């Protein structure tokens, strides 16, 4: 691009485009992407960056996969749009493929985003209990620090103070419990089995609220945007047990962790024996090439929506949900993930190359390095002993130094005021070994330049 074209774009960006989440600071030039190739993108000034957060942890296969683009184009020529009030071939094939990957029989409802897939799950969970004779079961439990989406229902499940404060009150019936956050155990520093206490807290809350009023528990297997919280495998097993005991549905939000990000096809698969009642997906389902959300519900639950005689169907529709092109893209995306053994590659390289990030624990300002597959969180503190969170400026400095060298890394969202001190690294799952080495070296160098 010519200099004057770039300047015009920057001016128009500031004049007309409302950026998500960001403060509009007069005179600050945004990063405007022009093109991408693999794990890298190039901005309008011609500078290249390795995208160490895969966009918003969704561009799992990187830019420019011709097979995916062709799948979308071919599908659009063949059948440009069709609603799922009826049916079409790519949606049928994709729903069958999702059941196969989930390892049990599920029925899948398609939408357009992660937020929408969670909204759909909440409606299904509430209606399910009505249809099975428990109309009082409507409350939905989620965890503090979790992010489940931006629409009002999904935001009500999102227990992050700063995201909510200007939009509350949320939807009635959402409750929050502490997360299994061993590094800062919400139940006290002396607690050594934080995961177990955190799981048991769900049991207690259900008892206190009355099981007859509780519909579902929603959780990510590993809290991602809320600061990369990685509980033991037993945590979800215990949560599943508790849910079953109280006839409460377990909704697993796999929007980030689904499709290989953590070194298994789905995050819940790290906990043997766990089979969620409902699984929600988006992002990695299409590697971000087109919007698509999915809410997969165990067939036993679906059965209660089709009993003859009564008006028991799900009163829910999404015009663009399960768009034929999005489904075709998802199918091609999954085909590539399988063909290229992406999931085992993530498990291996997430330890071998990215595993070097764990050595950052030697740095005086690193309190903990948490990880699963290609999802890393580095928690910065002022002091290891006191664990006081590092100042914003320190995180900004690391992020800025990386950016200067051509690497984008992220940080956790508005979890708890004063606790946005976790750097997040989540590169495309198809990143080359050279890309990953560059990422690790760049982050190491940045840390060498602070204190």
Alpha-carbon span 180 to 170, nearest angstrom: 24
Residue 74 CB neighbour total at 10 angstroms: 12
**Residue 360-389 contact track with ligand PMP, rule CB under 6 A, x = bound:** ------------------------------
Selected from 1, 32, 33, 56, the binder of ligand PMP by CB under 6 A is 56
C-beta of 21 vs 393, nearer to ligand PMP: 21
C-beta of 294 vs 354, nearer to ligand PMP: 294
C-beta of 256 vs 337, nearer to ligand PMP: 256
Pairing of strands 407-408, 410-411: unpaired
- Looking at the DSSP bridge assignments, the partners of residue 371 are 376
54 binds ligand PMP (CB under 6 A): no
Of residues 277-306, which lie at the interface with ligand PMP (CB under 6 A)? Answer: 282
Selected from 51, 119, 195, 220, the binder of ligand PMP by CB under 6 A is 220
Q: How far is the CB of 63 from ligand PMP (least distance, A)?
A: 19
**Residue 225-244 contact track with ligand PMP, rule CB under 6 A, x = bound:** x-------------------
Residue 277 CB neighbour total at 10 angstroms: 24
Residue 46 burial class via C-beta count within 10 angstroms: exposed 0-12, middle 13-18, buried 19 and up? exposed
114 binds ligand PMP (CB under 6 A): yes
Q: How far is the CB of 291 from ligand PMP (least distance, A)?
A: 7
Alpha-carbon span 284 to 256, nearest angstrom: 7
Alpha-carbon span 109 to 294, nearest angstrom: 6
115 binds ligand PMP (CB under 6 A): yes
Of residues 246-275, which lie at the interface with ligand PMP (CB under 6 A)? Answer: 253, 255-256
Alpha-carbon span 341 to 26, nearest angstrom: 46
Question: What are the two backbone dihedrals, phi and then psi, of residue 159, each rounded to the nearest 5 degrees?
Answer: -100, 70
Cβ contact 435:50 at 8 Å? yes
- Looking at the DSSP bridge assignments, the partners of residue 107 are 297
C-beta of 251 vs 331, nearer to ligand PMP: 251
C-beta of 119 vs 277, nearer to ligand PMP: 119
**Residue 124-163 contact track with ligand PMP, rule CB under 6 A, x = bound:** -----------------------xxxx-------------
Alpha-carbon span 268 to 104, nearest angstrom: 13
Residues written for the chain = 451
C-beta of 285 vs 325, nearer to ligand PMP: 285
C-beta of 265 vs 440, nearer to ligand PMP: 265
91 binds ligand PMP (CB under 6 A): no
Alpha-carbon span 373 to 406, nearest angstrom: 23
191 binds ligand PMP (CB under 6 A): no
Cβ contact 33:10 at 8 Å? no
Total number of residues that touch ligand PMP (CB under 6 A): 16
C-beta of 62 vs 114, nearer to ligand PMP: 114
143: closest CA among 190, 194, 211, 106?
A: 194
Q: Where does this chain bind ligand PMP (CB under 6 A)? A: 56, 113-115, 118, 147-150, 220, 224-225, 253, 255-256, 282
């Amino acid at each position: 691009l010519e200099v004057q074209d770039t300047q015009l774009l920057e001016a128009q960006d500031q004049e007309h485009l409302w950026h998500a989440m960001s403060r509009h600071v007069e005179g600050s030039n945004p990063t405007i992407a022009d093109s991408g190739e693999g794990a890298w993108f190039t901005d309008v000034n011609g500078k290249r960056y390795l995208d160490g957060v895969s966009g918003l942890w969704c561009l799992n296969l990187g830019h420019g996969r011709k097979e995916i683009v062709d799948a979308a184009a071919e599908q659009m020529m063949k059948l440009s749009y069709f609603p799922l009030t009826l049916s079409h071939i790519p949606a049928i094939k994709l729903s069958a493929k999702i059941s196969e990957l989930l390892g049990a029989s599920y029925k899948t409802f398609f939408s357009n985003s992660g937020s929408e897939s969670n909204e759909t799950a909440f409606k299904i969970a509430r209606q399910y209990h009505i249809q099975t004779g428990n109309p009082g079961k409507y409350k939905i439990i989620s965890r503090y620090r979790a992010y489940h989406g931006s629409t009002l229902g999904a935001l009500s499940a999102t227990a992050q103070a700063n995201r909510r404060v200007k939009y509350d009150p949320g939807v009635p019936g959402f409750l929050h419990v502490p997360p299994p956050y061993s590094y800062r155990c919400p139940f006290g520093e002396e607690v050594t089995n934080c995961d177990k206490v955190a799981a048991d807290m769900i049991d207690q809350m259900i008892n206190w609220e009355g099981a007859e009023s509780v519909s579902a528990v929603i959780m990510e297997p590993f809290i991602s945007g809320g600061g990369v919280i990685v509980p033991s495998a037993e945590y979800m097993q215990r949560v599943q047990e508790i849910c079953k005991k109280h006839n409460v549905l377990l909704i697993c939000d796999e929007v980030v962790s689904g499709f290989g990000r953590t070194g298994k096809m789905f995050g819940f698969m790290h906990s043997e024996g766990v089979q969620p009642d409902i699984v929600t997906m988006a992002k990695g389902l299409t590697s971000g090439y087109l919007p698509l959300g999915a809410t997969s519900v165990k067939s036993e639950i679906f059965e209660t929506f089709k009993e003859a005689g009564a008006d028991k169907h799900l009163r829910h529709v999404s015009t663009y949900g399960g768009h034929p092109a999005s489904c075709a893209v998802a199918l091609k995306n999954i085909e590539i993930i399988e063909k290229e053994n992406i999931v085992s590659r993530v498990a291996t390289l997430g330890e071998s190359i990215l595993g070097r990030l764990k050595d950052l624990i030697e740095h005086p300002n690193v309190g903990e390095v948490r990880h699963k597959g290609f999802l890393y969180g580095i928690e910065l503190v002022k002091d290891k002993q006191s664990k006081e969170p590092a100042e914003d400026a320190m995180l900004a400095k690391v992020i800025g130094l990386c950016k200067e060298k051509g690497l984008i890394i992220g940080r956790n969202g508005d979890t708890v005021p004063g606790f946005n001190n976790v750097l997040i690294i989540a590169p495309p799952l198809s990143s080359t070994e050279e890309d990953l080495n560059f990422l690790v070296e760049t982050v190491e160098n940045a840390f060498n330049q602070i204190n």
